[in-house]
Structure 1
């Protein structure tokens, strides 16, 4: 008998004893002790197998797999392309320290794909980390997986349950995953989906709304993970109006361009709160209720240090922000840059 099956049956026998299974009647004194032990073992094993057969206990199969033969189920919220050595470093170190993967992933068998035999339902980071280790000095590392028989809706619920406790799965990733699942698994019935996932209808409705924010607007943020549910919901609502959406999209493109320039210059990107404020203020700028800031200076930590509030014939109003981390020398340099920027744009003090 294979070792795994033997261990499994031994565990079942232990369970049976814990539940108070009645022992067989005492054998006559003339019966050898080893015969009595054998009879007890056979009876217990027969009972254990019966429990498996009638569905009272389910056998769990764990396999050691080559991750190259395992693909990622597209119904999972986690974006495999966003995984890196940096955001998986803690898991990688844990696998190395423990001599391998201790917590199995959940996979299901697939057919019709000559390149893969299984797909990952839960355990995307584990799959990525084992793949990375095999390519970086640990070629013998195996992907430990538990095989399950699941339809797509059950697979989605299992993956969602695991991802809820993961801080590295962003609100936007989950929101878009829910929107896809709403159409694919629940016939666009939000109430049914909320009941199956045991979620608040109101909370699910907000998540689905956030999922509708277009990529052109998301690009304004330094990372999709910056898009948090509560503030993003206000942005998603604002995008319902056609003219407002046009203004927000235009400002988003400008911010996205500035973010690229900051990265190329080695500066930190704009914080999410500043991006969100500029996006929500876009309609006011379009209507002329509020003028766009002629100049804004942020420190290398991404904190706003100086802002040109207004520039007109009466003069220039400049705000120095507390808590930016900039010292006097940096603020003076920022002021010079601001004045030069105003002069170049025709809004300086010399006009």
Structure 2
């Protein structure tokens, strides 16, 4: 079985096929799953699937999938399929655990299938077993195999993938990014961008409505702002405040702050969203000037000019932050004058 899986590693591309090309009996499957399905159905050649309980295998910690994030809702179609067929048609891949381990096997590929069978076992279908194949792979080979599968899954977030890469570069590749990039068929720049995402502080992660919304493109903007100590602190303070707002909105069942608005507010906190010139603050959306906030006799004047396709939430978030900053600056000036 080890040679079969190594053959998969050398012949499978890392680039995903169009979704319509992955249809197999009304399910979207990765090409890895298609190969495993063929083996399971073909039988012979010494490749016999075994049947185990989900509790017989622990999940390998090198897999990038966020296993606690799996839910009955996100796995609904797979649960229904396994229930109808009295088991998973496509086997999971396991290897023998080390002597003395709590479970005899370690799950390398198939976290969703294991989750679904376990859920069914706990909800009136205790007879269903987890169909598995035993393989003999090194940790590095197991990581590459899991990575091939997970790149083709929509429910693997960029953040989960990035954090698994951050752990893997030291664990499997001696801290040498170029070695890892070559093994995974990535460019060095692609890997560097993913590793930058993995290093986003928890405060920044929590500022986004969900982990799925934080993407590589956001970290490319935020990473330079987090390098300077003064800017970093301002960004983290703003991120904590946004995170608290997100929690309140989530608790109240209200619409949460969009990723574009979060990014805009963090940029502004670092001094990138608006620039101050004396008593005037210039409002910027990206590289475009959209207005200004300036001091007038009775308070503050806001001027705003937006294109028809401008992001209104983003623009209003920038205006709000600029007004709050202008108020604070005026208050400091009044205090200084009184002294």
TM-score, length of structure 1 as denominator length: 0.66
What's the counterpart of residue 104 of structure 2?
117
Name the structure 1 match of 2:144.
157
* Structure 1 position 207 matched with structure 2 position 186: no
Deviations 1:137-167 (A, max 9, x none): 2211111111101111111111111111011
Gaps of 5+ in 2: 1-43, 284-291, 311-319, 331-339
Kindly name which structure, 1 or 2, has the bigger radius of gyration based on alpha carbons: 1
Give the SS at the match of 2:90: coil
Structure 1 Cα separation of the partners of residues 303 and 49 of structure 2:
65
CA distance in 2, matches of 1:58, 1:276: 54
The structure 2 residue matched to 1:273, chosen from 260, 268, 275, is: 260
SS in 2 for 1:121: strand
Checking the alignment, whether the CA contact within 8 Å between 1:76 and 1:121 is kept in structure 2 is: yes
What value does the CA root-mean-square deviation take over the aligned residues? 3.2
- Asked if the contact 1:285/1:292 (under 8 Å) is kept, the reply is no
Residue 71 of structure 1 corresponds to which residue in structure 2? Answer: 58
Q: Which runs of 5+ in 1 are unaligned?
A: 1-56, 294-308, 325-337
Verify the 8 A CA contact 1:247 1:286 in the aligned structure 2. no
Deviation (angstroms), 1:242 = 1.9
Aligned-partner Cα distance in 2 for 1:196–1:258: 42
2:256 alignment partner, SS class: coil
Q: CA deviation at 1:114?
A: 4.8
Residue 127 (structure 1) shift: 1.0
Shift of the 285–67 alpha-carbon distance from structure 1 to 2, 3 Å rule, reads same
Distance 1:115 1:292 in 2: 62
Work out the CA distance in 1 between the residues paired with 2:261 and 2:244.
15
Give the superposition deviation at 1:232.
2.2
Give the count of matched residue pairs: 261
Partner of 1:250: 237
Deviations along 1:103-142, one digit per CA (max 9) or x if unpaired, are: 1111111024453111111111111111111111221111
- Measured at CA, do residues 323 and 90 of structure 1 come closer, stay the same or move farther in structure 2, by a change above 3 Å? farther
Using the alignment, how far apart are the partners of 1:220 and 1:97 within structure 2? Answer: 41
Give the CA deviation at 1:260.
0.7
SS of residue paired to 1:284: coil
Whether 1:145 and 2:129 are equivalent positions in the alignment is no
SS of match in other structure, 1:102: coil
Structure number with greater CO (CA < 8 Å, separation at least 6) is 2
Give the Cα–Cα distance (whole angstroms) in 2 for the partners of residues 319 and 82 of structure 1: 42
Tell me, in whole angstroms, the C-alpha distance in 2 between the residues paired with 1:253 and 1:129: 36
